[in-house]
Amino acid sequence: MLRVRFAPSPTGYLHIGSARTFIFNWLFARHEGGTMILRIDDTDVGRNTEESLNSIFDGLRWLGLGWDEEYKQSERLQLHKQLAEAIFQKGLAYRDFTPPGEEGEKARSEGQWLFNAGMRELAREESDRRAAAGEPFALRFRVPRDRECEVRFADAVYGDQSKSTADIEDFALLRSDGMPTYHLASCADDADLRISHIVRGQDHLTNTFKHVLLFEAARAAVPQFAHLPLLVAPDGAKLSKRRHGPVVSVMTYRDAGFLPQAYINFLCLLGWSPKDNRERMSREELTEAFSLEGINRSNAVVNFTEEDPIDPKALWLNSQHIYAMPAAELAEQLLPVLREAGFRTDIEKVRQVTPLIQERIKLLNDVTSVADFFFLEELPPYDSAELIPQKGDAAMAAAVLRQARETLAGVDFAHDALEPALRSAASGLGVKAGQMFLPIRVAVCGRKNAPPLFQTLEVLGREICLHRIGQALEKLQ
């Protein structure tokens, strides 16, 4: 049975890279008919925040992918401590009474970073005595040193990996406050939850040697591993909230007006490829196409700048997803965006407008700037010079608008009647169609760039159109 997990630690908002890890796990589980587990890795009590936890759940909920089982490491402390104890009793770990922070850089530069011999070789009786006396200690894994050997595992992405035990330090299992470290808690839970595949960021690739040692010490099956290339900033640096700000949060994309399926699509294309040149893919297509073999090995740049936090390709993909959506469904998404922006409207109206703007918005939020004039009672002020058509003057604009007012007053207010009526009105005036349409468009929309004229008139309705044309004529006085 395939079981995978996503294990975020609640020390910040849901990071774009974490979101991708979640998505890859989810896709893998769904593709293989396995189980997706969410595990909150909250062993670092000092840095955990409730706010962060909420923001992670908000982000995951927005993605809308879901999971099958949910756990919290802080509720599984006993399990972690039991494993630590078991490993200690087997002699595979030892107490290190060195006060924290005392070693670090110095030891490393002196080549003593692997372990503290005094502590590693401390006699059991003395160790027990000092522990019983209440002296604090960290519990460290006793990496085999008697003979050099290689720790090996096969990574589904990076291939066969090996590392000499001579290059693996005696890492901590328990902190001196008795709390488990990440390595211990993670492996204890992975073993207990019978995780079959660990799919996570490449920043854990070298940690995996320690984990293999731990699984073996716990006499647990070693899971399969698949490490993911990292997502990096345009300067190549690892994305971090400190350095790069909110661009690394999934909320930035949600709040900008992304469709979750488009965001998922974008993230999938960072470090994975269906190998057949497909770009826009639905969730179903992604699930169908996903495999660990399609994951590549080099880090991927998320292309953002100070001015624009959105990757241009993500933006394009979002526009593609918007375009591909049934209009009725898009209208449902647009309504809350409009209401949020303060427009008073209803789903009926939005349904009428949606087909006119569907291929003109890249973000859901664009609706507020692209379609505002459909929902506004009064047009925002515009320069009357905008009303003047190409190779024309104010007099022509006024003539056109007067004619339009007359024509529109007496025509069936539907696209198929409006077009011929306005075209023949134009030739009656001796102006080109474009010279006729532009003043009307500006009068009615308040700007030159807008959706196709006749549908726009139709949706707006006769009354508003005539009213706005009248206002435009006044402006031209």
Q: Which two tokens stand for residue 95?
A: 């107490």
Backbone phi, psi, residue 298, to 5°:
-95, 150
238 part of the active site:
no
Of the candidate residues 2, 31, 58, 98, the single one contacting RNA (CB under 7 A): 98
Hey, which residues between 175 and 194 contact RNA (CB under 7 A)? Answer: 175-177, 179, 181-183, 186
Of the candidate residues 64, 118, 234, 461, the single one contacting RNA (CB under 7 A): 234
Hey, which residues between 19 and 58 contact RNA (CB under 7 A)? Answer: 41, 43-44, 47
Interaction of residue 113 with RNA, rule CB under 7 A = yes
Of the candidate residues 31, 74, 136, 402, the single one contacting RNA (CB under 7 A): 136
Of the candidate residues 165, 202, 333, 471, the single one contacting RNA (CB under 7 A): 202
Interaction of residue 375 with RNA, rule CB under 7 A = no
Of the candidate residues 21, 318, 319, 407, the single one contacting RNA (CB under 7 A): 319
First to last CA, the chain: 78
Q: From 51-59, 191-199, 251-259, 310-318, give the range in contact with RNA by CB under 7 A.
A: 310-318
Per the CB < 8 A criterion, the answer to whether 450 and 373 are in contact is yes
Interaction of residue 371 with RNA, rule CB under 7 A = no
Backbone phi, psi, residue 381, to 5°:
-60, 145
CB of 134 to RNA, least distance (A): 14
* DSSP state letter for 299: -
* Choice between 126 and 177, CB closer to RNA: 177
Which of 163, 238, 241, 313 does the annotation list as catalytic?
A: 241
* Choice between 32 and 103, CB closer to RNA: 103
Interaction of residue 271 with RNA, rule CB under 7 A = yes
Per the CB < 8 A criterion, the answer to whether 63 and 264 are in contact is yes
* Choice between 143 and 172, CB closer to RNA: 172
CB of 416 to RNA, least distance (A): 11
> Can you list the positions of beta strands (E) in 116-269?
138-141, 150-155, 159-164, 172-174, 197-201, 224-228, 231-232
Of the candidate residues 31, 145, 238, 351, the single one contacting RNA (CB under 7 A): 238
Write down the H helix ranges in 257-326: 260-268, 283-289, 312-324
Q: From 62-70, 274-282, 284-292, 337-345, give the range in contact with RNA by CB under 7 A.
A: 274-282
Interaction of residue 74 with RNA, rule CB under 7 A = no
Pairwise CA distance, residues 199 & 155, whole Å: 10
Q: By three-state DSSP, how is residue 62 classified? A: helix
Pairwise CA distance, residues 200 & 25, whole Å: 8
Per the CB < 8 A criterion, the answer to whether 168 and 143 are in contact is yes
Q: From 24-32, 229-237, 392-400, 404-412, give the range in contact with RNA by CB under 7 A.
A: 229-237
* Choice between 272 and 348, CB closer to RNA: 272
Helix (H) or strand (E) holding 393: none
Pairwise CA distance, residues 167 & 143, whole Å: 10
* DSSP state letter for 345: -
Of the candidate residues 1, 132, 134, 449, the single one contacting RNA (CB under 7 A): 449
Hey, which residues between 401 and 440 contact RNA (CB under 7 A)? Answer: 419, 433-434, 437-438
Per the CB < 8 A criterion, the answer to whether 215 and 223 are in contact is yes
Q: Which residues are catalytic?
A: 241
